Amino acid sequence: MLTCVLLVRLVLQLLLLLLSTLLVFSMNAKQIARSFQASNFESAKGLFGIFTNCHYQTIVGSEALRVKLIGNIPRNFQTSSQRFETRDSDFFDVEFSDNIETSLGVVVVLHGLESSTKGPLVTKMASSFINAGFAVCLMSFRGCNGDDNLTQGAYHLGFTTDVHQLVEYINNKYPKLNIYLSGFSLGGNVCLKYLSEIGENCIKLNCKGAVVTSVPFDPVASQHKIDQGFNRFVYSENFLATLKVLTRISLTHSLTHPLTYLLTYSHIPPKAKSRAKVSVVPRKVRF
């Protein structure tokens, strides 16, 4: 009887200790979150500092105009490519810089919507990290590397499955190497969601830090902003040009399933089917 009482008392003490620890952690987390003060966005000065304009910063400052006219920025570093097979029988591609063995740590760089590891922002960030003594791991989201993926669906703001696989691989292969993450735009969303999913497991995975840039925290508000006026004409059309292609590719995978075929394709008139084949998206898609 005495043993049972002591055991119950010990359990209660452990529960109280756990609750107090969680309470302290919650209070610390709130204090940290509140320490980030919101500020109004001010675009960088453009055209020799004469004026500030967000479109100038986006189109010229991001090198998007250069890419359209000349092509991607040449790299000043070397990488080796590796293709990872996923658990759902698909793949994603990654490029590792050649200084990983002697680096201070490796930075996993996640690009933005419909960009790639060859994009100017990724190249600039990677070059800066390497110059500071770090290695880089440039990850291509599915369908962004130039090769069609094998399964239906695509990457999105919350698609972290491949990031989990990649970070675990790096940690297993280089257990003493510190891992950092850097995401731009959509890649920033993916980065933050991934960190929320691993939580305290970041210690076991050697994830030491992360930085994100231009993150669309509120996708609905961002969609309304980008879908009107000048933004719709320039940015939306630019994104949709490649997103529509990805949708068509995804559709070809879905048509292999009889039920999906009936739900998405059977309502098209026979004459339209003969002209369309699988190169036409049967329903209007809104992004």
What are the tens digits of pLDDT across the range 245-276?
767 766 665 555 554 444 444 443 443 333 33
pTM above 0.85, yes or no: no
Beta strands 51-52 and 106-110, pairing class: unpaired
Name the DSSP class of 159.
-
107 and 236: one domain?
no
Residues 6+ apart with CB under 8 A from 195: 181, 202, 207, 210
| Cα(281)–Cα(264) distance, integer angstroms | 9
191 and 240: one domain?
no
**Is 153 inside a domain boundary?**
yes
**Is 152 inside a domain boundary?**
yes
**Is 5 inside a domain boundary?**
no
Given 217, 240, 258, which residue is the final one in a domain?
Answer: 217
**Is 33 inside a domain boundary?**
no
Pull the structure tokens for residue 117. 């590891």
**Is 118 inside a domain boundary?**
yes
195 and 227: one domain?
no
Give the H or E element holding residue 5: helix 2-34
pLDDT over threshold 70, residue 22: no
pLDDT of res. 97: 96
125 and 260: one domain?
no
Q: How many domains does the chain have?
A: 2
80 and 147: one domain?
yes
57 and 146: one domain?
yes
Q: Supply the CATH number for residue 174's domain.
A: 3.40.50.1820
* Strand partners of residue 135: 106
197 and 257: one domain?
no
What are the tens digits of pLDDT across the range 198-222?
998 999 999 999 999 989 888 888 8
Beta strands 91-97 and 135-139, pairing class: antiparallel
| Cα(192)–Cα(92) distance, integer angstroms | 20
pLDDT of res. 67: 76
pLDDT over threshold 80, residue 7: no
**Is 233 inside a domain boundary?**
yes
**Is 40 inside a domain boundary?**
no
165 and 248: one domain?
no
Pull the structure tokens for residue 82. 């590796």
What are the tens digits of pLDDT across the range 50-83?
667 777 777 777 777 777 788 778 899 999 999 9
Through-space distance between the first and last CA atoms of the chain, rounded to whole angstroms: 66
Sheet containing strand 135-139, strands side by side: 79-85, 91-97, 135-139, 106-110, 179-184, 207-213
pLDDT over threshold 50, residue 37: yes
| Cα(94)–Cα(140) distance, integer angstroms | 6
Q: How confident is the model at residue 25 (pLDDT cuts 50, 70, 90)?
A: low
198 and 112: one domain?
yes
Percentage of the chain beyond pLDDT 90 is 39
87 and 157: one domain?
yes
Given 201, 217, 233, which residue is the final one in a domain?
Answer: 217
171 and 59: one domain?
yes
> Residue 136's domain spans which residues?
50-217
Given 173, 197, 217, which residue is the final one in a domain?
Answer: 217
pLDDT over threshold 80, residue 125: yes
**Is 21 inside a domain boundary?**
no
Nearest to 187 by CA among 151, 162, 220: 162
258 and 148: one domain?
no
